[in-house]
Every structure is written in structure tokens, then in C-alpha cells.
Chains A and B, each alone.
Chain A
Amino acid sequence: MTVGSQVKSCFSSIKSAEATIQLLASKTQKYEAHAKFKEAEKIMASIKNDLQKQVIQLTKEEPQYK
């Protein structure tokens, strides 16, 4: 596995986690839990953005494994 694909798989795991958090946030009836899930969702979104940049950069660096 190249570094690029490793980062990519991590990126998709982050995406899946973000989606699950989103789901839990909308499902829960507890106000406090809802707020915390929303906050976590924001953090996950920012991590996702950062990683996305990294993925693009790595694909540029390793074009042969694209």
C-alpha cells in the first residue's frame, strides 16, 4: 500500500465517522448530546478538509499509482 492509498483510506474513514456523528446528532433527543455531536461534526469536517488537500497533493506526488 502506498502512502497515498493509506491516507485515502483514512480519509474515507473520517468521512464515514462524520456521517455517523451527523446521524446520531439528528437521532438523539437529548439537547446536550445534540450540541456535543454538532461540535464534533464541525471538527470532523475541518479534519476532512485538511486531509482532502493532503490526498490531492499526494496524488500529484505519486502520479504513477493513480
Chain B
Amino acid sequence: MPGWITLIVKSLILLVALFFLTKWLGKKHLSHMNIFEYISGVVLGGIVAIHTVTPESNIIYGLIAMFIWFIIPFGVELFSLKSKTFRNFTQGKSTVFIQDGKIMEDNLKKEGYSTDDLLEKLRDNNIFLASDVEFAVLEPTGTLSVLPKRENRPLTAKDLGLNLAPDKEPQTVIMDGKVLLEPLANLNLNKNWLETELDKMNVSIENVFLGQADHDGQLYVDLYDDKLVVPEPSEKPLLLATMKKCQADLELFALATENVESKELYERNSRKLQHATELIRPFLK
């Protein structure tokens, strides 16, 4: 067999082996690997590279070496899932760098971090003043996780005491002009509903590049023809506006009438309507 054929066959075999081994090793992102996982990945690649370009090498040896470099990290990972002490040993523990707003100099020194390194890591997290940090910890993967002080954290709905409706993931129901039946079924909707909604918007399904529906049954579409303007779903804002208007009307009637009984009735109903509006307002946003 001429050398180049051996080379092609060997490359193909090793490539397939490498593909499956890396697949089984899991889908951790490169930046989330610890140094051991990272190096064993590099070694796997190295073995493949060496054995493909040296014609006199024995492919069996290559495969055995790859297997060893695969099975040990794999076994370590499997075992560390079970045991916390083993996990601490193999993956390392996190180190606290800042606690209660104070920098732990000893821990910095232990991990070999200079003040500049710490500041750089903080800047990575968009923090330019060390005193803004309440707590910071160096993860085993080498990333710094930072908890800013309460006043420096972004404002959330919880801080404001806002009452928000629970959210569910929207489903993609049209892709490249084709209906996707499974996501539609997930929403308990069918093709008929989709056709009706599209008719309401006055677009044909072939013209839809992407269509998504949420759990309230509202359809959002993007068209191939970008010159066409698609109406946003207006049902909910319209309802809110109608309810507000009616409430204002009722108040007006209450002010205008001189009949005590009617006045009382209008006022009572205005209050009821306000209550109903407050009730469903979070769901109309």
C-alpha cells in the first residue's frame, strides 16, 4: 500500500475516533474547563496530529494512547460527580478574594494574583472601584465571580416591588415560510389558528421568514419583504385602553349626575373597574 493511502486511512480513523472521544468527554466550554481537562484535550489532539503525519507510526499505538488519555479524564469526571472530596481534589476549590468588601491579601498571594490581576478581573466584570464589591471569589476555572454591594447592583422588579406576570418561553412556529407543527402543538394551537392570525395581518405564509407565538396566543412575524409593515399584536394594549377609558367615563357620570342613587352606582362600578384593571394589568404588558 503506498504511503499516501495509509495516511488518508489513518487520518480518517483517528479523526472519527477523536470526534467521538471529545463528544463523550462532554460539552463543557473551553473556558469552563479546569487545567487538567484542558491539557488532556490538547494531548488527545496532539496524539492524532503526530500519528497522522508520521507514516511509520503504528496506528494501534495511537488508538491505545488516545484511549488512555480519554478514559482517565472520563473516569475522573464520573467519579467526581459522586464524591465531593474527590471533586475538591481534582477540580480544586474556589478561593475567596474579597469578603465583606475587604480584599484578602493572603488568598491573592496563594493563587499568585497581583493587585493588577485582581483589578483587571474586576474590570472584566464592569467594576472599576474595588470598594464597590461585597464579595468576589475565584472559581477553579480561573474566572472571577463578583457580587457587587447592594446599592451597586442593577435595579430589578423585585427591588421596585413590581408585580409582574410569569413568563413562559415563546415558540417558533414558522421558519423560512414553513409551518412547524410540533411547537404549535406545544401551545395547544393548530394550523387553522395560524392561518387565521396571518389572514388578520394580511400576509401569506410564504412571505414569513420567522414567526413566533407566545403562551398568550399572540403571533409575532418577520417577513421576507422588509418593506411591508406588519402590525404588532394590539389586542392587549387596546383592552387596557378601553378599560381605562370606561373607568374615566364612569367617574365622569358620577360627577355629572344629581341623582344620589345613580351617583353611588357609578362610583361603585368605577371602583370595581379599577380593581379589575389592576388585576389583569401585569398580564397586558
Binding site for B on A (CB under 8 A): 3, 6-7, 10, 13-14, 16-17, 20-21, 23-24, 27-30, 32-33, 36-37, 39-40, 43-44, 46-47, 50-51, 54, 57
Binding stretch for chain A, among B106-114, B146-154, B174-182, B238-246: B238-246
Main secondary structure of the interface of A (DSSP, over half): helix
Binding site for A on B (CB under 8 A): 165-166, 168, 187-188, 215-217, 235-236, 238-239, 242-243, 245-246, 249-250, 253, 256-257, 262, 265-266, 268-269, 272-273, 275-276, 279-280, 283
Do A10 and B166 contact each other (CB < 8 Å), given the known contacts A16-B242, A30-B216?
Answer: no
* 9 contacts across the A-B interface (CB closer than 8 A): A13-B245, A20-B242, A21-B239, A24-B235, A24-B239, A28-B215, A28-B283, A37-B283, A54-B262
- Residue among B166, B245, B276 with the highest chain A CB neighbour number at 10 A: B276
B168 in contact with A30 (CB, 8 Å):
yes
- Residue among A29, A50, A57 with the highest chain B CB neighbour number at 10 A: A29
CB neighbours of B272 from chain A (8 A): 43, 46-47
CB neighbours of A44 from chain B (8 A): 273, 276
A10 in contact with B249 (CB, 8 Å):
yes
Please, how many angstroms separate the alpha-carbon atoms of A36 and B257 in the complex? Answer: 33
A32 in contact with B165 (CB, 8 Å):
yes
Given contacts A6-B253, A20-B238, A50-B269, 14 further A-B contacts (CB under 8 A): A6-B249, A17-B242, A20-B235, A20-B242, A27-B216, A29-B215, A32-B165, A33-B165, A40-B279, A40-B280, A43-B275, A43-B279, A50-B268, A54-B262
CB neighbours of B235 from chain A (8 A): 20, 23-24
Residue of B nearest to A28 (CB): B216
Please, how many angstroms separate the alpha-carbon atoms of A51 and B253 in the complex? Answer: 11
